[in-house]
Structure 1
Amino acid sequence: MTVMAADVDSIRIAFDEGSLTTLKIVIGAILFGIALDTKLDDFRLALRRPGTIAIGVVAQFLLLPALTFCLTLLLDVRGSVALGMILVACCPPGNVSNILTHRARGDVALSVSMTAVSNVLAIFLMPLNVAFWGKLHPTGQDVLRDIDLSALDMLLEIGLVIGVPFAAGITIAHFWPRFAERGAKVVGPIAFIGLGAVIVAGVANNWEIFLDYIGVVLIAVLLHDALALLIGWTIARGTRLPASSTKAMTFEVGIRNAGLGLLLVFTYFDGLGGMALVAAWWGIWDIIAGLAVAEVWRRRTRAPLAEQVVR
């Protein structure tokens, strides 16, 4: 174990109060944009496909965190890096998964339904997952003990960041669908541009730390992201889902809302070095890897399927 790797547990990423407030607004806007593009029919569709949705829920909230835990042990990463990987694995998907599913000519209706259901469930399951796997980890538990993480506090924060904008967006989408349709086209892209700007600004303000320590998390994030995509693909193939649904499942499990994870790192973990680096780099690499996979599928699919446009 190098000195640098050991030190990653002790560094803190500088992130002022104004930047944290901006990040909260951006994450809320992302969830608001997802909700504007979500209809109550998406939940009804989920009820009509309970088996498929259940497969996705198990993959996202049970298999991914559990296998992530195993990966951290296999890689023998430091406590803060392990916690960062666990935190990201417990995050819900964002609407990037819907975009990638559409680009790959997959089952967009399933993707949207799973995103909606997963974000609602994440309000309750995410803090429980983080607390459970973090306290179980041999090196991560020491970090959590020093921080004294409260699953209830995290639940309230996630409920505020996800639940409030999500409820507001769905309400608008239900009563003013045309306004919501136009708003979703604006809010979503602007929010993701805002998230990118916040991450870039954070990296720029901590450039020396980023250069010194990015190597500590680089391979871990690459392998972790590949594992997440592989879990989605494997469970879809193993349960014999159609090809279009396999694409949706792959991205729903493989694409995580790392921006939410980054927010929680600065809210509850005081910008803990390894966690912040994992969340920031995941947010960048996840999109790159997802676009690459979507492009490969798009080139192999000659024509879009009818189910892609059925909502």
Structure 2
Amino acid sequence: MAPLLLPLPLPLGTLPCARSVSRPTVPRPCLPLPFTKRQRLPAVRCPAEPGPAAPPAAPPAPRWHAALSAAAGLYPAYVTAGAAVAVTRPDAFGWFVDMAPGSYTATLGFIMLAMGLTLQLRDFAALLRDRPLAILFGCAAQYTIMPAFGAIVSRALGLPSSLSVGLILLGCCPGGTASNVVTLVAKGDVPLSIVMTVCSTLAAVLLTPLLTKILAGAYIPVDAVQLSLSTLQVVVAPILLGSSIQTAFPSVVQFVTPFAPLMAVLASSLLACSVFSENFVRLRTTISDASSVNGSFVSGDIGLVMLSVFLLHFAGFFVGYATAAIGGFKEKQRRAISIEVGMQNSSLGVVLATAHFSSPLVALPPALSAVIMNMMGSTLGLVWQYIRPSGSENETTDMPNA
């Protein structure tokens, strides 16, 4: 029989092997009593750390500065009014045309001098150092887009051979100085526009005859020495003089600078309308003679020529801006490249056409371009004047990620 197991009384004290474990007392959170309103402590504000002092705000520009800027923005109105006068009364610009070519050279020099007063030499140094790609891109666009579209438009519209040669010749010309004025109005990159004009003009010694020969089948020699000297006299020297005057006499230039854009716009309008009026009488006589002899050129064809010139410059503005945008350039460079590509040296086209072709109709597209191009470019500049370029004002890189 198994033994019975009886429960023995155990002591209630601590066992010898047990260890006393002391637990820290955790304070219980103070919970708000029900039906009592919580008291909010006043917010404690740290004293602001002293930072760099903000630069003093520039004083507002006088009202007459805004009036001068608005007057310079009326570039399309000046060109349109001058063209209307040139058509109705061509002798109104006779006093200026009679002094040509000296008057033309002096006016172009004055335009570039006014541009130089608004710029500094360090702007051009920074352009050559930091943005050489923009210069190369713009010059390449100048001599690819316009010559190609000159041939495309002339074939698409079925222009006669003389007018086709004139349109292609216009497309193969370098950029004109009027593009610099329009870029200033459009708030584009003015140093880039000026350097592109200089580079494309110097390159015209080789590229204008070569491209005209390839696309139009006619070789047009260009006097390299004369064109280079004209570029130095009309573009480079006045800009360097204006920049030097700005450095030597800053107080005088500060007063004169607000007038510079308006003076450049008025001088450019006078030059464009004078070139148009100079050729209008001669072309009108030629057109009437051609239509009366063989009827090969009727008065209705003048509208076709105007359409071809319009399409050529429109392609230059649009495709020039689109390619610059695809290339990743910033807004100010896009505007400069677009205007520089779209605006040609139509005066050079008229001179080359009259000097190397027997048919005066070859000079008709460049002569009409003197007005149509300036009207289109100045209108585009006026639109861009009221659209502020995106990004910083001081853009120093070619590409956004550079």
* Residue of structure 2 in register with 1:150 after alignment: 221
Q: Deviations over 1:221-263 (max 9, x none)?
A: 1211111112211111211222333222211211222123223
Instruction: Flag the 1:113–1:70 CA change in 2: closer, same or farther, 3 A.
Output: same
- Of 231, 235, 242, 2:323 maps to 235
d(CA) in 2 for partners of 1:297 and 1:184? 19
Deviation of 1:118 (Å) = 2.4
Match of residue 277 from structure 1: 364
Distance across 2 between alignment mates of 1:159 and 1:229 = 26
Structure 2 portions without partners, runs of 5+: 1-94, 289-298, 397-402
Question: 2:196 is matched with which residue?
Answer: 118
In structure 1, the gaps of 5 or more residues are 1-17
1:162/1:24 Cα in 2 relative to 1: closer, same or farther (>3 Å)?
farther
Query: Aligned AA for 1:41?
Result: R
Does residue 127 in structure 1 map to residue 205 in structure 2? Answer: yes
- The CA deviation string for residues 164-190 of structure 1, in whole angstroms up to 9 with x for no partner, is 333431342244335886796657633
Provide the identity percentage. 23
Residue 163 of structure 2 corresponds to residue 72 of structure 1: no
- The aligned counterpart of 1:255 is 343
Higher relative contact order (CA 8 A, sep 6+): 1
Which segment is superposed worse, 201-210 or 155-164? 201-210
Judged with a 3 Å threshold, the aligned counterparts in structure 2 of structure 1 residues 129 and 242 are, in CA distance, closer, same or farther, namely same
Alignment partner of 2:159: what SS?
coil
Could you tell me whether the CA contact under 8 Å between 1:28 and 1:165 is conserved in 2?
yes
CA distance in 2, matches of 1:71, 1:191: 27
Equivalent residue number for residue 9 of structure 1: none
Q: TM-score, normalised by structure 2?
A: 0.59
Q: In the aligned structure 1, how far is the partner of 2:323 from the partner of 2:335?
A: 11
Instruction: Specify the alignment match of 1:41 in structure 2.
Output: 122
Question: TM-score normalised to the size of structure 1?
Answer: 0.73
Cα offsets for 1:8-62 (capped at 9, x unmatched): xxxxxxxxxx998744334423442354223533431321112222221111123
Structure 1 residue 189 and structure 2 residue 266: aligned? Answer: yes
Give, in angstroms, the shift of residue 305 of structure 1.
7.3
Q: Using the alignment, how far apart are the partners of 1:224 and 1:159 within structure 2?
A: 27
Distance in 1 between residues matched to 2:134 and 2:203, nearest whole Å: 19
Q: How far did residue 197 of structure 1 move?
A: 2.3
Shift of 1:191: 5.3
What letter is aligned with 2:121? L
Residue equivalent to 1:81? 163
Structure with higher helix content: 1
- Separation in structure 2 between the aligned mates of residue 192 and residue 292 of structure 1, nearest angstrom: 13
Contact 1:225–1:286 (Cα < 8 Å) also in 2:
yes
**Which residue number corresponds to residue 5 of structure 1?**
none
Matched, 1:287 2:355: no
1:99-131 CA-partner distances (Å, limit 9, x unpaired): 433444x43xx2x22332223223432132222
Contact 1:35 1:166 in 2 (8 A): yes
Which of 279-288 and 26-35 deviates more? Answer: 26-35
> Is residue 265–residue 275 contact of structure 1 (8 Å, CA) maintained in 2?
yes
Tell me which moved more, 30-39 or 284-293.
30-39
1:77 to 1:260, Cα distance in 2 relative to 1, 3 A: same
Q: Which has the larger radius of gyration?
A: 2
Distance 2:374 2:139 in 1: 21
What is the DSSP-based 3-state SS (H/G/I as helix, E as strand, rest coil) of the residue aligned with 1:176?
Answer: helix
- 1:56-99 deviation line (CA, Å, top 9, x unaligned): 11111233323433333443433332332233223333343344
Map of 1:215 onto structure 2: 303
Does the CA-based 8 Å contact 2:97-2:103 persist in structure 1? Answer: no
In structure 2, distance between residues paired with 1:100 and 1:232: 15
Indicate conservation of the 8 Å contact 1:45/1:113, yes or no: no
* 1:173 matched to 2:242: yes
Give the CA deviation at 1:288.
1.8
Q: How many angstroms does 1:285 deviate by?
A: 0.9
Aligned residue for 1:307, secondary structure, equals coil
| Change in 2 beyond 3 A, CA 1:229/1:167 | closer
The residue identity in structure 1 corresponding to 2:232 is G
Preserved contact between residue 149 and residue 171 of structure 2 (Cα < 8 Å): no
- Matched letter for residue 275 of structure 1: V
Q: Alignment partner of 1:91: what SS?
A: coil
For this pair of structures, how many residues does the alignment match? 278
Following superposition, which runs of at least 4 residues in structure 1 exceed 4 angstroms of deviation? 18-23, 178-188, 302-306
